[in-house]
């Protein structure tokens, strides 16, 4: 069944845009143009995730997510805001948001972030070994193995592979990678992340093996066995 | 110029206040002189009268009328008064026809107005003689009275006239400052009307008006600089954004003509539009940084750790670009800063250094090994982060221009980038009150972040008058 997503967004045009995008990406979207009404909906019905505008007329986005959490609901919330400062991001996440995205955004990135959130939600048990195809990453011994071949990873490469494998099959933008692996929130030069991924790829995908790390033109990278 | 405006100037008010104080002082002084002199002179007259009267009273009673006549003949009947009266009040001798009613024998001296027998103001005393007669001795006191009235009228005139003079001077003194103020107002009106090159006039006096004017002029210099920056920024935005958008449009047009799904074309269009979006993101980032409250994210930061992380982030890129990137090891250096922002600044400097060192605009023969080195030095007690490369460097005349938004030296336009990296660094520097300096590394560029301690340079840049 398609995951149900609640879009709380006061700007009708943006809400429609997100709605169409999610519908096209195989989600079941539902819109609400008002904070209070959105909160009501989120409390009454079960959604798989919520995209929440930070600035809403009747009830502020921070307030919505805070009240939702107070009511004991753990629906993942992706906050969408024109406020992009680190402080705004921190206050958004502290109020109970699961991820934070700055307007304007690339449609593919919104979908990617939602999928990452849904995946995180479905993983109940903490995993000890991540697997993609014949690649294994042991989170305890911090070792990577591909078809039994041991791969030496630098600490940062380990973190990068960890993040990509947890979100296998999911296109990850450079910015998402930079935020998740380096935990910085500015725009790094285009090539910086590219080169880090390329290096990791060189270690993972040696000639003769089916490539696991793929470049998605214009949007980012994905690790996938297919 | 209206009088009411003149009166409102500080100079006028001070002048009038001073003359009021001065006038009060003079009036008090004159008052003292008046009091002291009249009392002194009156006492002297009374003393003389008493001595004379006692001398006459001590002479034999039978000779008294003759002595009085002699005294009148000697001293003149116009200045002195002598009189001898019987016990029933009849005049026996002298130039006084009747006893003045208020005069008591043995009592205090009395002043009488001019009368028929004596044409001037006189001061009289009376003595009761043992024979029952009364002796009166008196003196013309017109001189004394005149002196008193001279001093009194001086008293009455000086106060108001000093005040009047003060008022006049106050008005006169404030004409000049008010005229200067008028010139300043005119300058301010011109500035408000858009002439940002206009400055407040400054005189040779170096007084408080000049101090104020030079502060305003300094401020106007900053405003002008910012306005020029904004203007050149919007010019460059228009110019820089038009190029990728025009290219994207041309490619879209071609696609429309061919109607074939050409992935390469679409990729290129997305690339062009992405570069436009990257520029807007950078612009928004700068205004975010500029609007930020200063110490919001401040904490104690180890500079060596920041340098290490930045090198760690850029090492793969440098290797791919054929640039030797190295970090000169240092001891930890603790300062107060926003670690995320400082990291962003160092990253930007590293990004530039690698970009420009790898892509030399003029290939040299033989090309030396491209190198970028990050180090941490202590200049005195002030820590500095140094990013040094052996690339083409920045000519001295362009060094301040590169901090402006969108600036890129003409010959470097071919290299990808928003042209906003250094503006972001500059904004981060301003937030920290650090400075960014460029030096010649011979060959290459040495970019230095000078991390001034917080107390330093708080009033930096203000003119000293």
For B377-411, how does the pLDDT look when each residue is reduced to its tens digit (9 = 90+)?
998 889 999 999 988 888 877 777 777 655 555 44
Please name the member of A184, A186, A195 whose beta carbon is closest to the beta carbon of B320: A195
DSSP B62: G
Q: Which of A66-70, A184-188, B45-49 has the lowest mean pLDDT?
A: A184-188
Determine the pLDDT at residue B1. Answer: 61
Is residue B419 very low, low, confident or very high in pLDDT (cuts 50, 70, 90)? low
Q: In this structure, are A50 and A93 located in the same domain?
A: yes
Q: Is-contact A189 A175, C-beta < 8 A?
A: no
State the Cα–Cα distance between residues A221 and A169, nearest whole angstrom: 9
Residue-averaged pLDDT of chain B: 82
Rg of chain A over all Cα atoms, to the nearest angstrom: 19
Q: In this structure, are A115 and A141 located in the same domain?
A: no
Give one word for A220, left, alpha or beta, with left for phi > 0 and alpha for psi -120 to 50: left
Residues listed for chain A: 226
The residues with which A222 forms a beta bridge, in sequence order, are A214
Q: Are strands B80-85 and B134-140 parallel, antiparallel or unpaired?
A: antiparallel
State the Cα–Cα distance between residues A76 and A114, nearest whole angstrom: 9
Q: Is-contact B224 B197, C-beta < 8 A?
A: yes
State the Cα–Cα distance between residues A80 and A109, nearest whole angstrom: 12
Instruction: Flag whether pLDDT at B464 surpasses 50.
Output: no
Instruction: Flag whether pLDDT at B458 surpasses 80.
Output: no
State the Cα–Cα distance between residues A50 and A61, nearest whole angstrom: 11
| Residue in B closest to A178 by C-alpha | B313
Question: Which residues does B167 contact at the CB level (< 8 Å), separation at least 6?
Answer: B15, B16, B19
CATH domain B220-291 topology: Helix Hairpins (1.10.287)
Domain locations in chain B as residue ranges: 1-195, 220-291, 299-450
- Which residue did the predictor score with more confidence, A182 or B393? A182
Q: In this structure, are A29 and A96 located in the same domain?
A: yes
Domain span at A194: 129-223
Instruction: Flag whether pLDDT at B4 surpasses 80.
Output: no
Determine the pLDDT at residue B303. Answer: 93
Helix axes B303-320, B339-358, angle to 10 degrees: 30
Instruction: Flag whether pLDDT at B262 surpasses 80.
Output: no
Strand order in the sheet with A49-53: A28-32, A4-8, A49-53, A77-81, A99-102
Q: Which CATH number fits domain B299-450: 3.40.190.10, 3.30.565.10, 3.40.50.300, 2.40.50.220?
A: 3.30.565.10
Instruction: Flag whether pLDDT at B413 surpasses 60.
Output: no
Domain count, chain A: 2
Preferred mutation among B251, B316, B372, B431 to probe A, highest tally of A CBs within 10 A: B316
Instruction: Flag whether pLDDT at B366 surpasses 70.
Output: no
Rounded to 5°, angle at Cα B285 from B279 and B290: 130
The residues with which A220 forms a beta bridge, in sequence order, are A216
Q: In this structure, are A93 and A164 located in the same domain?
A: no
Average pLDDT over residues A122-131: 74
The CATH code that applies to domain B1-195 is 3.30.450
pLDDT tens figures, B160-218: 888 888 888 888 888 888 888 889 999 999 988 888 888 988 888 888 888 989 999 99
Determine the pLDDT at residue A85. Answer: 67
Q: In this structure, are A45 and A145 located in the same domain?
A: no
Q: In this structure, are A72 and A13 located in the same domain?
A: yes
Q: Is-contact B352 B422, C-beta < 8 A?
A: yes
Q: Which of B48-62, B319-333, B449-463 has the lowest mean pLDDT?
A: B449-463
- CATH number of the domain residue A213 falls in: 1.10.10.10
Angstrom CA distances, A120 to A124, A137, A163, B68, stand at 8, 17, 11, 139
Q: In this structure, are A183 and A210 located in the same domain?
A: yes
Determine the pLDDT at residue B447. Answer: 92
Q: Residue holding tokens 């020029």?
A: B228
How many Cβ pairs within 8 Å bridge chains A and B?
Answer: 56
Min CA distance, A104 vs chain B (Å)? 9
- Chain B residues near residue A90 by CB distance under 8 angstroms: none
The predicted model scores a pTM of: 0.59
- CATH number of the domain residue A12 falls in: 3.40.50.2300
Q: Which of A138-142, A215-219, B173-177, B453-457 has the lowest mean pLDDT?
A: B453-457
Q: In this structure, are A161 and A134 located in the same domain?
A: yes
Q: In this structure, are A16 and A98 located in the same domain?
A: yes
Whether residue B448 lies within 8 A of chain A, CB to CB, comes out as: no
Instruction: Flag whether pLDDT at B140 surpasses 50.
Output: yes
DSSP B137: E
Q: In this structure, are A182 and A199 located in the same domain?
A: yes
């Amino acid at each position: 069944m398609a995951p149900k997503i609640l879009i709380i967004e006061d700007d009708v045009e943006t809400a429609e845009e997100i709605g169409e995008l999610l519908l096209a990406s195989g989600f079941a979207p539902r819109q609400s143009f008002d904070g209070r009404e959105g909160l009501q909906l989120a409390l009454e019905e079960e959604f798989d995730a919520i995209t929440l505008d930070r600035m809403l007329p009747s009830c502020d986005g921070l307030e919505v997510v805070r009240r939702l959490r107070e009511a004991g609901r753990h629906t993942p919330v992706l906050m969408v805001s024109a406020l992009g400062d680190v402080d705004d991001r921190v206050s958004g996440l502290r109020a109970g948001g699961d991820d934070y995205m700055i307007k304007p955004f690339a449609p593919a990135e919104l979908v990617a972030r939602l999928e990452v959130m849904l995946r995180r939600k479905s993983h109940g048990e903490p995993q000890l070994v991540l697997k993609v195809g014949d690649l294994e990453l042991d989170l305890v011994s911090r070792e990577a193995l591909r078809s039994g071949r041991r791969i030496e990873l630098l600490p940062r490469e380990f973190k990068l592979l960890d993040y990509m494998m947890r979100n296998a099959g999911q296109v990850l933008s450079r910015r998402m990678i930079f935020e998740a692996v380096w935990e910085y929130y500015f725009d790094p030069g285009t090539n910086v992340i590219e080169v880090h991924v390329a290096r990791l790829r060189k270690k993972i995908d040696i000639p003769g093996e089916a490539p696991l790390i793929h470049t998605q033109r214009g949007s980012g990278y994905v690790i996938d066995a297919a | 110029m209206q009088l009411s405006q003149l009166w409102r100037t500080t100079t006028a008010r001070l002048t009038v206040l001073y003359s009021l104080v001065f006038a009060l002082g003079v009036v008090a002084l004159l008052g003292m002189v008046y009091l002291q002199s009249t009392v002194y002179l009156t006492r002297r007259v009374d003393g003389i009268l008493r001595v004379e009267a006692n001398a006459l009273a001590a002479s034999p009673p039978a000779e008294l009328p003759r002595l009085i006549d002699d005294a009148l003949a000697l001293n003149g009947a116009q200045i002195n008064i002598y009189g001898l009266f019987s016990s029933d009040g009849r005049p026996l001798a002298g130039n006084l026809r009747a006893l003045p009613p208020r005069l008591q024998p043995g009592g205090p001296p009395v002043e009488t107005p001019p009368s028929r027998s004596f044409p001037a103001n006189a001061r009289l005393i009376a003595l009761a003689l043992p024979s029952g007669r009364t002796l009166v001795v008196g003196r013309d006191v017109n001189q004394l009275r005149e002196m008193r009235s001279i001093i009194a009228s001086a008293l009455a005139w000086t106060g108001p006239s000093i005040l009047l003079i003060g008022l006049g001077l106050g008005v006169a003194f404030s004409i000049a400052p008010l005229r200067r103020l008028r010139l300043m107002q005119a300058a301010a009106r011109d500035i408000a009307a858009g002439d940002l090159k206009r400055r407040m006039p400054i005189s040779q006096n170096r007084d408080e008006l000049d101090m104020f004017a030079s502060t305003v002029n300094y401020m106007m210099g900053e405003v002008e600089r910012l306005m020029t920056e904004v203007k050149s920024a919007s010019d460059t935005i228009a110019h820089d954004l038009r190029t990728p958008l025009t290219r994207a449009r041309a490619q879209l047009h071609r696609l429309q003509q061919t109607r074939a799904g050409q992935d390469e074309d679409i990729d290129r269009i997305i690339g062009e539009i992405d570069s436009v979006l990257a520029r807007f993101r950078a612009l928004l980032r700068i205004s975010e940084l500029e609007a930020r409250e200063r110490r919001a994210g401040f904490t104690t930061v180890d500079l060596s750790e920041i340098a290490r992380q930045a090198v760690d982030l850029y090492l793969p890129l440098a290797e791919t670009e054929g640039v030797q990137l190295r970090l000169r090891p240092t001891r930890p250096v603790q300062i107060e800063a926003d670690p995320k922002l400082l990291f962003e600044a160092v990253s930007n400097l590293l990004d530039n250094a690698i970009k420009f060192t790898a892509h030399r605009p003029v290939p040299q023969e033989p090309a030396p090994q491209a190198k970028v080195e990050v180090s941490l030095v202590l200049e005195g007690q002030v820590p500095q982060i140094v990013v040094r490369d052996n690339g083409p460097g920045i000519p001295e005349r362009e060094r301040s221009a590169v901090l402006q938004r969108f600036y890129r030296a003409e010959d470097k336009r071919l290299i990808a980038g928003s042209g906003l990296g250094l503006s972001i660094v500059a904004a981060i520097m301003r937030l920290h009150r650090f400075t960014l300096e460029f030096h010649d590394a011979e060959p290459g560029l040495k970019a230095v972040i000078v991390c001034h301690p917080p107390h330093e340079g708080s009033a930096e840049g203000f003119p000293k008058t």
